[in-house]
């Protein structure tokens, strides 16, 4: 049997560092990507989607309009069944978004789990054990109740929580034993909660988000092919709209042009970029950089810039600020070493020797400039 494993759609998420208008675009993208998942399933004749929770972000506070919008997508693909549990963001409660619409109006192809449930799919010779969360936090393993016995059927579990990896989980965040799939004789354990793809063992997977909420997340939809007594074949498929990309550069007078060119070549209105730049530049290059950073905003959907590039003082400028003491001789010596490229020390291959001298000169300059104030 083949199915798609997805989770953590986080519909309704508020992107704090984006304008209201951009938030609307980011939200539209999430719905478009969900539609693309169903399209992918239809094109590949996959008739089952498993969604492992956190479909909504802060589900108790979201309008039913979002739920109706989601259901209207499901309704367009009546041949595709979707099994859906809840996570710690959209847990079952009186106020949950899932109670804002009468269950009679739920799409016929949606199998919504509001507790613990065992589903039997005769057409696949498969049983799915599904658990929805009913609170924001718990020290209880949500998958404890699943029987250990080996079955004739394919045995799939879908849950939401954190694998108990030392240093990577907190004990009140629905801890799940690392060897749960083995212990419970599962063919596949479909997990939600972590926002990046993670494979614990041959049968235990987090798919991660299909559309990022922030930098450093990397999720996929997983296309899972299961045969009894064989290892699952799991294919990562990237279906996302926006691409979140973080880059860090140490800039100097020699590589500035390259940086500008590289960043321009990367321009894309579906890209959300973060640039962390640091280093020292001459006056004219610093001006060039600052002009480029303004232009940068129009190259991407949004560009976040952390700028720690400083003006490199000219050499005579340094000599002017230091006093007449021995330090002046040191500065002169450093400058002449730099000019003759006779630098009597070793550095890491990636660090140009000259930049060490520049940093030394700059520290001296900053120190004496402070003194004079
Ligand atoms: Mn979660």
In angstroms, rounded to a whole number, what is the distance separating the alpha carbons of residues 42 and 171? Answer: 40
DSSP, collapsed to helix, strand or coil, labels residue 281 as strand
Interval between CA 333 and ligand 1 midpoint (Å): 60
Residue 343 and residue 353 in contact, taking contact as beta carbons nearer than 8 Å: yes
Interval between CA 54 and ligand 1 midpoint (Å): 6
Interval between CA 160 and ligand 1 midpoint (Å): 7
- CATH architecture assigned to 2-237: 4-Layer Sandwich (3.60)
In angstroms, rounded to a whole number, what is the distance separating the alpha carbons of residues 279 and 284? Answer: 15
Task: Provide CB contacts within 8 A for 126, sequence distance 6+.
Answer: 1, 120, 153, 154, 155, 156, 226
DSSP 299: G
Residue 336's H or E segment, with its range, is helix 326-340
Interval between CA 93 and ligand 1 midpoint (Å): 16
Interval between CA 85 and ligand 1 midpoint (Å): 11
Task: Provide CB contacts within 8 A for 191, sequence distance 6+.
Answer: 7, 52, 158, 159, 160, 161, 163, 176, 204, 205, 206, 207
DSSP, collapsed to helix, strand or coil, labels residue 262 as helix
Interval between CA 168 and ligand 1 midpoint (Å): 14
CA dihedral of residues 346, 351, 355, 357 (deg, nearest 10): -20
Interval between CA 21 and ligand 1 midpoint (Å): 26
Residue 133 and residue 103 in contact, taking contact as beta carbons nearer than 8 Å: no
In angstroms, rounded to a whole number, what is the distance separating the alpha carbons of residues 292 and 339? Answer: 30
Domain locations in the chain?
Answer: 2-237, 243-311, 315-372
Interval between CA 87 and ligand 1 midpoint (Å): 5
| pLDDT tens figures, 168-210 | 999 999 999 999 999 999 999 999 999 999 999 999 999 999 9
Per-residue confidence of the chain (373 residues) as pLDDT tens digits?
Answer: 999 999 999 999 999 999 999 999 999 999 999 999 999 999 999 999 999 999 999 999 999 999 999 999 999 999 999 999 999 999 999 999 999 999 999 999 999 999 999 999 999 999 999 999 999 999 999 999 999 999 999 999 999 999 999 999 999 999 999 999 999 999 999 999 999 999 999 999 999 999 999 999 999 999 999 999 899 999 999 999 999 999 999 999 999 999 999 999 999 999 999 999 999 898 889 989 999 999 999 999 999 999 999 888 788 888 888 877 788 899 888 888 888 878 888 887 777 777 788 888 888 888 887 776 6
In angstroms, rounded to a whole number, what is the distance separating the alpha carbons of residues 242 and 219? Answer: 12
Task: Provide CB contacts within 8 A for 353, sequence distance 6+.
Answer: 343, 345, 347
* pLDDT the model gives residue 347: 80
| Three-point CA angle 245, 248, 249, nearest 5° | 135
Q: How far is CA 125 from CA 2, 78, 82, in A?
A: 12, 21, 17
| pLDDT tens figures, 291-348 | 999 999 999 999 999 999 988 878 888 888 887 778 889 988 888 888 887 888 888 7
> For all residues of the chain together, what is the average pLDDT?
94
* pLDDT the model gives residue 336: 87
């Amino acid at each position: 049997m083949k199915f798609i494993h997805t989770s953590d759609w986080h519909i309704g998420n508020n992107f704090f560092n984006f304008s209201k208008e951009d938030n609307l675009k980011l939200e539209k993208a999430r719905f478009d990507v969900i539609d693309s998942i169903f399209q992918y399933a239809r094109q590949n004749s996959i008739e089952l989607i498993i969604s492992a929770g956190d479909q909504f972000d802060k589900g108790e506070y979201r309008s039913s309009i979002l739920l109706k919008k989601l259901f209207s997508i499901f309704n367009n693909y009546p041949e595709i069944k979707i099994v859906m549990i809840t996570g710690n963001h959209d847990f079952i409660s009186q106020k949950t978004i899932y109670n804002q619409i009468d269950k009679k109006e739920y799409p016929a192809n949606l199998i919504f789990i509001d507790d613990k449930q065992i589903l039997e799919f005769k057409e696949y010779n498969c049983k799915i054990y599904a658990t929805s969360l009913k609170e924001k936090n718990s020290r209880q393993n949500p998958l404890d109740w699943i029987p250990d016995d080996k079955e004739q059927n394919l045995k799939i579990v879908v849950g939401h929580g954190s694998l108990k990896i030392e240093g990577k989980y907190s004990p009140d965040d629905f801890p799940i034993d690392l060897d749960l799939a083995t212990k419970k004789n599962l063919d596949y354990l479909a997990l939600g909660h972590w926002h990046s793809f993670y494979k614990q063992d041959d049968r235990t997977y987090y798919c991660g988000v299909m559309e990022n909420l922030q930098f450093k997340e990397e999720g996929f939809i997983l296309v899972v092919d299961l045969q009894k007594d064989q290892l699952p074949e799991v294919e990562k498929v990237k279906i996302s709209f926006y691409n979140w990309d973080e880059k860090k550069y140490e800039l100097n007078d020699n590589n500035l042009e390259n940086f500008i060119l590289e960043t321009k070549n990367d321009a894309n209105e579906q890209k959300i970029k973060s640039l962390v730049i640091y280093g020292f530049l001459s006056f004219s290059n610093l001006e060039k950089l600052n002009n480029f950073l303004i232009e940068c905003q129009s190259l991407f959907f949004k560009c976040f810039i952390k700028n720690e590039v400083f003006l490199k003082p000219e050499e005579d400028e340094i000599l002017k600020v230091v006093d007449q003491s021995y330090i002046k001789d040191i500065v002169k010596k450093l400058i002449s070493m730099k000019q003759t490229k006779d630098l009597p020390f070793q550095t890491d291959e990636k660090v140009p020797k000259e930049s060490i001298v520049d940093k030394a000169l700059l520290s001296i300059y900053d120190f004496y400039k402070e003194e004079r104030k």
